[in-house]
Structure formats: structure tokens, C-alpha cells
């Protein structure tokens, strides 16, 4: 193990990274809830670094709420890190409490996922399950954290006080390609609370979002309001999105939307939660 790998990180960050390493060492053998995002990729790489690949198992939950490109990215990342990857089918859409899309939808999704991970951990002899939640996640509405707490899922990054910015800086030090990857929440987060989540709707969102990304907007969201697609891109990209208006409208309407709207507030993670604060 290269003990100097984090020397390029800020001196104030290094003690928190050491805490995260200590927490992982104490866990011994760990199943990592892996989604190919910035946080879970860093957690997986750190766990392999600290514990050795034989003591780490990455498990990716596969369902219509996981974009297909993210699944492929997860496979590539796990190979590059040297971690064993297990893909398991999850069944959140079969749960009417999830499909109805209440404000605590993520609780039911994560309850299903973590229960399945617990089964895998028990069968394979792993003593702990770890998620990539970070310290910033405590500042937003995150019912998934409550689901994890119920069955003892650990969050080493959060417990060590690592923020998203910290995780990106440490990921860069480890040469992980995800260090500057845009945030990518599950596709169901694009559906307004109270509107049903279906496999068909998630597929349309995925295809629309990739159409916008392929037009030059790698950080974007397509929020599904039935006949209307509300597109979020970073505020700095709004003029460019207007300039590419015709191409965006054509690509998104081809997928079945009647109206295409550009959100003038720009991209913001978790914007559907704004309705909960009114």
C-alpha cells in the first residue's frame, strides 16, 4: 500500500481520510453498495486499498431505475479497481409503496437493496455492509439513510466527516476517473412526488437524458412532468442550451414528450425536494 498516495490532498483533509481508513479496517470484510457514482467508487477503491480485494465485494443493484450506461460504467470501474462485482436484481418497482412515489420513496428502495445486500453478506461471510453516503448527505432529505440505519449499514465516508468535495479531491489523488464525474442520482428522482414510477417512464427519462447529454450537456436532468420534459443544465450552460434549442426539442419530442421546457434556475441536485419545503 502506498502510504503517501494522499500527500497531494490538503493537510486538513488527510486526517479525515485516515479516519475513513481506520473505520474500514475495523469492519474487516465488507460488502460495498456500489452504484458507479463518485462516492461509492471512491469507497470501493479505498476499501480495496485498505482491506485487500479478497475482503471486499462490490454489489450493484440492477433495476429500471439504474441507467444502462451506469451499469456498464460500474463494470469498467470495478475491473479497474480490481474488485469483485456482483450484480443483483432489485425489486423496488414491485413494491406499491415505492411505485406510488411518496416523499420517502428512497426509504423503500434502499430497504429492498440493503435487505438483499444483507443476504449476500451473510451467504458470503462478510461482516458488514457499507454505503457511500458522505457528510453532505445529512444536509438534504435522505430517507435512504434511515433505511440503512435500520439494519446497521455503515457509512465510512460520512462517519469520517468527508464531504463531496473531499471525496472528489481524494478520488483525484487515487487517479479515479470519477473524481470529476457529474452527480447521477437514480432515474426515479426525475419523477415528481406523487406521480407513479413505472419502468416505461424511467426508460423514457433515461433515453431523453442521454439524448441531451449527447448534444453536449454532460451534466443535466430531464424531469418528467407527464407530457412535459423539464430540462435542467448548469446555469452557465443555459445560453448554449438555448442556442441548441431546436436539436434538444427534436430529440426529446421524438421520445414522446409533447412539451420541452428549459428550467431557468439551472441544474440543482435534488430539485424535486423543493416541493417538500413549501
The closest of 243, 242, 219 to 232, measured between CA atoms, is: 219
- Same domain, yes or no: 130 and 160: yes
- Same domain, yes or no: 118 and 246: no
- Same domain, yes or no: 170 and 231: no
- Same domain, yes or no: 84 and 136: yes
- Same domain, yes or no: 217 and 254: yes
Confidence category of residue 276, pLDDT binned at 50, 70, 90: low
* 127/152 Cα distance (integer angstroms): 11
Tell me what percent of the residues of the chain surpass a pLDDT of 70: 96
- Which pTM does this prediction carry? 0.92
- Across the range 198-215, mean pLDDT stands at 97
Region of poorest pLDDT, from 66-80, 139-153, 185-199, 207-221? 139-153
The residue written with cell numbers 423539464 in the block is: 230
- Same domain, yes or no: 156 and 173: yes
Assigned domain for 133 exists: yes
- Across the range 136-159, mean pLDDT stands at 87
The residue written with cell numbers 442550451 in the block is: 241
* HEC letters along 81-135: HCCEEEEEECCHHHCHHHHCCCCCHHHHHHHHHHHHHHHHHHHHCCCEEECCCCH
Assigned domain for 57 exists: yes
Q: Which residue has the higher pLDDT, 250 or 5?
A: 250
Q: Which of residues 134, 161, 180 is at a domain's end?
A: 180
Asked if 220 and 169 touch (Cβ cutoff 8 Å), the reply is no
DSSP state of 154: B
* 226/204 Cα distance (integer angstroms): 11
* 142/9 Cα distance (integer angstroms): 28
Is the pLDDT reported for residue 268 higher than 60? yes
Q: How many CB atoms lie within 10 A of CB 165?
A: 13
Which cell goes with 93? 418497482
Assigned domain for 83 exists: yes
Judge residue 8's burial from the number of C-beta atoms within 10 Å of its C-beta, 0-12 exposed, 13-18 middle, 19 or more buried: exposed
Assigned domain for 243 exists: yes
Q: Which of residues 146, 180, 214 is at a domain's end?
A: 180
Is the pLDDT reported for residue 142 higher than 90? no
Confidence category of residue 55, pLDDT binned at 50, 70, 90: very high
- Across the range 235-244, mean pLDDT stands at 97
pLDDT digits (tens, 9 = 90+) for 151-170: 999 999 999 999 999 999 99
> The domain spanning residue 204 has which CATH number?
3.30.70
Mutual orientation of helices 14-27 and 164-173 as an angle, nearest 10°?
A: 80
Assigned domain for 114 exists: yes
Assigned domain for 3 exists: no
Confidence category of residue 278, pLDDT binned at 50, 70, 90: low
Q: Please give the pLDDT value at position 277.
A: 62
**Average confidence score pLDDT of the chain:** 94
Provide the domain limits for residue 221: 187-277
* 113/59 Cα distance (integer angstroms): 10
- Across the range 87-110, mean pLDDT stands at 95
Q: Which of residues 180, 213, 242 is at a domain's end?
A: 180
Is the pLDDT reported for residue 6 higher than 70? yes
Q: Please give the pLDDT value at position 3.
A: 64
- Same domain, yes or no: 116 and 195: no
Assigned domain for 9 exists: no
Q: Please give the pLDDT value at position 5.
A: 87
Confidence category of residue 1, pLDDT binned at 50, 70, 90: low
- Same domain, yes or no: 140 and 239: no
Q: Please give the pLDDT value at position 147.
A: 87
- Same domain, yes or no: 201 and 167: no
Mutual orientation of helices 143-150 and 105-124 as an angle, nearest 10°?
A: 30
* 204/254 Cα distance (integer angstroms): 10
Could you tell me the end-to-end alpha-carbon distance of the chain, in angstroms, rounded to an integer?
50
Q: Please give the pLDDT value at position 213.
A: 97
- Same domain, yes or no: 230 and 265: yes
- Count structural domains, the chain: 2
Assigned domain for 105 exists: yes
Q: Determine the Cα angle at 33 with ends 39 and 221, to 5°.
A: 55
Is the pLDDT reported for residue 105 higher than 60? yes
Is the pLDDT reported for residue 273 higher than 80? no
- Same domain, yes or no: 173 and 268: no
- Same domain, yes or no: 109 and 200: no
> The domain spanning residue 30 has which CATH number?
3.40.50.620
Q: Please give the pLDDT value at position 2.
A: 57
**Residue 184, phi then psi, degrees to nearest 5:** -140, 85
Amino acid at each position: 500500500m502506498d502510504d503517501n498516495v494522499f500527500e497531494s490532498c490538503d493537510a486538513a483533509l488527510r486526517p479525515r481520510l485516515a479516519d475513513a481508513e481506520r473505520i474500514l479496517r475495523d469492519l474487516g470484510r465488507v460488502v460495498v453498495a456500489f452504484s458507479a457514482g463518485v462516492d461509492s467508487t471512491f469507497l470501493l477503491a479505498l476499501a480495496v486499498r485498505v482491506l485487500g480485494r479478497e475482503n471486499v465485494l462490490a454489489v450493484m443493484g440492477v433495476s429500471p431505475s439504474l441507467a444502462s450506461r451506469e451499469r456498464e460504467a460500474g463494470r469498467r470501474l470495478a475491473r479497474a479497481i480490481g474488485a469483485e462485482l456482483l450484480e443483483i436484481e432489485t425489486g423496488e418497482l414491485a413494491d406499491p409503496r415505492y411505485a406510488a412515489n411518496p416523499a420517502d420513496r428512497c426509504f423503500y428502495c434502499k430497504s429492498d437493496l440493503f435487505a438483499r445486500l444483507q443476504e449476500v453478506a451473510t451467504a458470503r461471510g462478510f461482516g458488514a455492509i457499507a454505503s457511500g453516503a458522505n457528510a453532505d448527505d445529512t444536509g438534504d432529505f435522505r430517507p435512504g439513510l434511515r433505511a440503512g440505519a435500520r439494519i446497521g449499514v455503515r457509512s465510512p465516508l460520512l462517519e469520517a466527516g468527508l464531504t463531496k468535495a473531499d471525496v472528489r479531491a481524494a478520488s483525484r489523488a487515487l487517479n479515479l476517473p470519477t473524481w470529476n464525474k457529474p452527480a447521477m442520482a437514480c432515474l426515479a428522482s426525475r419523477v415528481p412526488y406523487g406521480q407513479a414510477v413505472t419502468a416505461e417512464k424511467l426508460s423514457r427519462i433515461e433515453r431523453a437524458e442521454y439524448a441531451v447529454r449527447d448534444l453536449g450537456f454532460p451534466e443535466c436532468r430531464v424531469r418528467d412532468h407527464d407530457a412535459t420534459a423539464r430540462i435542467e443544465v448548469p446555469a452557465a450552460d443555459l445560453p448554449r442550451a438555448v442556442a441548441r434549442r431546436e436539436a434538444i426539442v427534436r430529440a426529446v419530442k421524438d421520445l414522446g414528450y409533447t412539451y420541452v421546457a428549459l428550467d431557468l434556475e439551472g441544474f440543482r441536485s435534488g430539485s424535486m425536494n423543493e416541493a417538500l419545503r413549501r
